[in-house]
Amino acid sequence: MKLSKTCLAAALTLSLASTAYAAETIKIGVSGPYTGGSSSMGVSMREGVRLAARDINANGGVLGRQLELIERDDEAKNERGVQIAQELINREQVVATVGFINTGVALAATRFYQKAEIPAIVNVSTGTVVSRQFEQPKYPANYIFRTAAADNIQAPMIAAEAVTKRGLKKVAIMADSTNYGQLGREDMEKALDALGVKPVVVEKFNIGDVDMTAQLLRAKEAGAQALLTYGIGPELAQLANGMAKLGWKVPMIGSWTLAMANFIDTARVNGDGALMPQTFIQNPNTPKRKAFIDAYVKDAQPKNGVIESAVSAAQGYDSVLLLAAAIEQAGNTKGQDIRAALENLQKPVEGVIMTYKQPYSTTDHETIDSPDTVYMGEVSKGRVVFAHPEDEQRSVANSGQSAQ
């Protein structure tokens, strides 16, 4: 009888241990600004990430385990981003991280993931250098990937829209003073130079500025026919409203952030007509996109059913799908194996932006390498729509699905 009880206890202990092991989650870090001027991007990204994790977990998870999101608010502050990276790596022991909205935060924080050999997918920050800091041959392996359209893709599109399509050769550049704004400005000047155009003025403004009259007057007096912008929603709205106060109306053509809700809501009618590159526009033109949009609107209940930053939400969603596919292919949660799997994904991944077919390689950590999968959006009556009909047609083709 004693032996039987001992065997029963041992069997029960083994069973509990096996259950605990089977229930162990896969921890994924989610880092972004959920408060402050960049929060519309951060919150939208986080909601997209949550939707992807929920879908994956509802279908059995990854390697038979559930994904657990470890979310942290970096407040768009570089030093806070560094603290979070160290916490997620050392205390939470995440196997990978997604997020990074602001270029400065991304540059400050990703070096810790690189050193720890933990993959990080940058799903919103567009600074060209972000995913290229640790490239070969200087580094044996690069652990930083991206699902956003980098500025060296966006800037030529912005320049071409103004100069080639619209014939506007007297342009002014307006960029904020952050890493994002100034690195974007550099890419913009290079893109204009390639078209043989030199900006009539290059102006700078700070985060929190509410009066850009002086900069706008200099652009107007220089004969600018368009404003090419690099900044985020609140300050971009002040540019649009400032032009209205001066009674001066020229096209605003800028980086993807002109689609932010806090630009559209603050600029109101003054923001109509603003143009910007977009990887995703809230248009249910395929079954996958309709399901994503419907789920987002149901869960987050955004104002008027408009996603505050649709690009951030979609890129956040797709980043988790790509990461989950890599972990499944790797067969484990070791950083080196996940990185290697991301660089050689064997199965297509159907995202909401596109169907990804081997999106990365050992030398290319960008899902978007050309303007072919980026579209010009336009602000119209409080939302972003396709600026050109042919762009919507391309967006459906890139999805790998039939139109809704």
Of the candidates 40, 68, 36, 3, the residue with the CA atom closest to the CA atom of residue 333: 68
Q: Which sequence spans correspond to the domains of the chain?
A: 25-149+284-369, 152-275+377-384+390-399
Question: What letters, b where the CB count within 10 A reaches 16 and e where it falls short, cover 16-25?
Answer: eeeeeeeeee
DSSP E strands, 74-135: 96-99, 120-122
* 162-167 mean pLDDT: 97
Give the ranges where 210-258 is alpha helix by DSSP (H). Answer: 213-221, 233-246
Would you state the pLDDT for residue 322? 98
| pLDDT at position 293 over 70 | yes
Q: Is 28 helix (H, G, I), strand (E, B) or coil?
A: strand
Q: Is there a shared CATH topology between the 25-149+284-369 domain and the 152-275+377-384+390-399 domain?
A: yes
Q: What is the CATH number of domain 152-275+377-384+390-399?
A: 3.40.50.2300
| pTM for the full predicted model | 0.92
Beta bridge partners of 120: 97, 144
Would you state the pLDDT for residue 6? 47
Would you state the pLDDT for residue 403? 73
Q: What is the DSSP string of 180-199?
A: HHHHHHHHHHHHHHHTT---
Q: What is the pLDDT of residues 44-61, one digit of tens each?
A: 999 999 999 999 999 999
217 alpha-carbon distance from chain centroid: 33
- How far is the C-alpha of 364 from the C-alpha of 234, rounded, in Å? 33
Would you state the pLDDT for residue 20? 40
When comparing pLDDT for 150 and 136, which is higher?
A: 150
C-beta neighbour count of 107 within 10 angstroms: 20
Q: How confident is the model at residue 400 (pLDDT cuts 50, 70, 90)?
A: confident
Q: How confident is the model at residue 3 (pLDDT cuts 50, 70, 90)?
A: very low
Q: Identify the residue whose tokens are 């009259």.
A: 213
**Residue 15 CB partners (closer than 8 Å, separation 6+):** none
Q: Left, alpha or beta for 275 (phi > 0: left; psi -120 to 50: alpha)?
A: beta
Q: What is the pLDDT of residues 178-199, one digit of tens each?
A: 999 999 999 999 999 999 999 9
Q: What is the pLDDT of residues 221-239, one digit of tens each?
A: 999 999 999 999 999 999 9
Beta bridge partners of 253: 228, 275
Average pLDDT over the chain, rounded to an integer: 94
Q: How wide is the angle at C-alpha 254 spanned by C-alphas 251 and 258, nearest 5°?
A: 95
Would you state the pLDDT for residue 21? 41
The answer to whether domain 25-149+284-369 has CATH 3.40.50.300 is: no
- How far is the C-alpha of 345 from the C-alpha of 122, rounded, in Å? 18
**Residue 386 CB partners (closer than 8 Å, separation 6+):** 281, 283, 375, 376, 377, 378, 392, 395
* 143-154 mean pLDDT: 98
Q: What is the pLDDT of residues 331-363, one digit of tens each?
A: 999 999 999 999 999 999 999 999 999 999 999
> In degrees rounded to 5, what are phi and psi of residue 18?
-65, -40
* 368-389 mean pLDDT: 95
Burial of 400 (0-12, 13-18, 19+ CB in 10 A): middle
